[in-house]
Amino acid sequence: MRDGRRVAGRGRRGDADVGDLVERARAGEARAVARLISLVEDESPLLREVMAALAPHTGNAQVIGITGSPGVGKSTSTSALVTELRRNGKRVGVLAVDPSSPFSGGALLGDRVRMQDHALDREVYIRSMASRGHLGGLAWTTPQALRVLDAAGCDVILIETVGVGQSEVEIAGLADTTMVLLAPGMGDGIQAAKAGILEIGDLYVVNKADRDGAEQVRRDLRSMLALAERTEGAWKPPIVMTVAQKGEGLGEVAAELDKHRAWMESSGELERRRTRRARDEIEAIAVTALRSRWGDVHGRSELDDLAAAVVAGTSDPYAAADVLLEDL
C-alpha cells in the first residue's frame, strides 16, 4: 500500500514512471506487480493510465476459478495445484480473495499460510485481496488485478474465492474454467443440488477423498449432473477425486483443465466467455462512473419534494425517478 502511494505520486510528474512500472512487471519483477495491484486496490488516479498500458499485453493467461464451501480445502488444493503447474513449467499467479478485517479492511488471511511452500519461487506470484464487503465471493477489483497478472506473463492464474456458500457464483463470470471443490461429511451432496452450483462448474473435485463418504459424494454429483440439460457437443464436467494435502490426484486435475481449455478453444466458447467477461467489466465501470456523477442523492433537496408528491399520490415513484435522471 505504501509503495502504491509512492508510485502514484511519481506518476503525476510524468508518464514514463507508469510505463517503466508496467515494463518491469512484464519482466516478472514481483515488486512492480505488487505496486500495480496496490494501485488497483487503492483506486488510484493513475488506474486508467495503467490499464491502458497493460491492455496490449493481456489475453494470454488461462484463468481458473477455485470455489467451494468453507472447509473443503480450497487453499490447500490451490497450493497443491500450483505445485503441479510448476512441475509442468508454468508461471503461475494466484489471487486469493479473503474476508475483510472489520478493523483494518484488509484480508483476514493475508499471510496465506497454506501457500508458504511457494514463497521463494520467482515464477509464482501470490496476492491476497480483501473482499471489502463485496458479495459473490470476489473482491470488487479482482478483474483489474487479474489483468495485471495476465500482462505480467503468468501462464495460469488461479482465483481462490472467499468460500461463502451458495451465493458464491460470480467466479463463473470471471474465470475461463471454474473448478468446484466438495468434500465428504459436509453435506455437499445436498448443497450441490441447490441453485448455482451445478450451473457454474466446469470441473468438480471431491477433495479429502481418503475419508469415509467420498464415494457417496461422487455418486451424488454424478447423478445430479446427469439430470442437467446439455446441448449436443457441450462440455460434460468431469469429477476428480483428490487428497490435496498429500498431493494426490492433482495430475488428473491439471489434465482435465487442459482438456477443458482445448475444448473451449475448438468450440469458440473461450472467445464467448472472454467477450462476456469484458462486457461485464465495462458495464461495472460505467455504472460506478454514473454513481460517482450522481453524487449523494439523499442530500439533494428536490428528493424531499418528489417523495412528498409520491406520498400525496400526485406522482408515482417511476415518474419521480425520471425527474432525477433528467439532471444527469
Dihedral of CA atoms 289, 94, 27, 22 in degrees, nearest 10, equals 10
Cα–Cα distance measured from residue 7 to residue 13, given in angstroms and rounded to the nearest whole number: 10
Does residue 93 register a pLDDT over 60? yes
pLDDT band at 9 (very low <50, low <70, confident <90, very high): very low
Alpha-carbon distances of 92 from 122, 149, 264, rounded to whole Å: 10, 9, 20
**Sequence-separated (6 or more) residues with CB below 8 Å from residue 66:** 74, 77, 78, 81, 158, 159, 160, 161, 179, 181
Q: Which pLDDT score is estimated for 302?
A: 80
* Amino acid in the structure at residue 80: A
**Which range has the top average pLDDT, 79-83, 113-117, 187-191?**
79-83
The string of pLDDT tens digits covering residues 272-309 is 999 998 898 888 888 877 877 776 666 667 888 899 99
Q: What does DSSP assign to residue 107?
A: B
Cα–Cα distance measured from residue 55 to residue 146, given in angstroms and rounded to the nearest whole number: 12
Cα–Cα distance measured from residue 156 to residue 200, given in angstroms and rounded to the nearest whole number: 20
Cα–Cα distance measured from residue 99 to residue 163, given in angstroms and rounded to the nearest whole number: 9
Q: What is the mean pLDDT of residues 167-174?
A: 68
Written as nine digits, the cell of 21 is 512500472
Residue whose C-alpha cell reads 471454474 in the numeric block:
178
Cα–Cα distance measured from residue 92 to residue 11, given in angstroms and rounded to the nearest whole number: 28
Residues 200/172, Cβ–Cβ less than 8 Å: yes
DSSP E strands, the chain:
62-68, 92-98, 124-130, 156-160, 177-182, 203-206, 239-241
Q: 3-state DSSP call for residue 192?
A: coil
Cα–Cα distance measured from residue 246 to residue 60, given in angstroms and rounded to the nearest whole number: 31
**Residues across the chain:** 328
How much is the mean pLDDT over the chain?
81
Total-model pTM: 0.82
Does residue 260 register a pLDDT over 60? yes
Residues 140/134, Cβ–Cβ less than 8 Å: yes
Residues 65/175, Cβ–Cβ less than 8 Å: yes
Give me the numbers of helices (H) and strands (E) for the chain, helices first please.
Answer: 13, 7
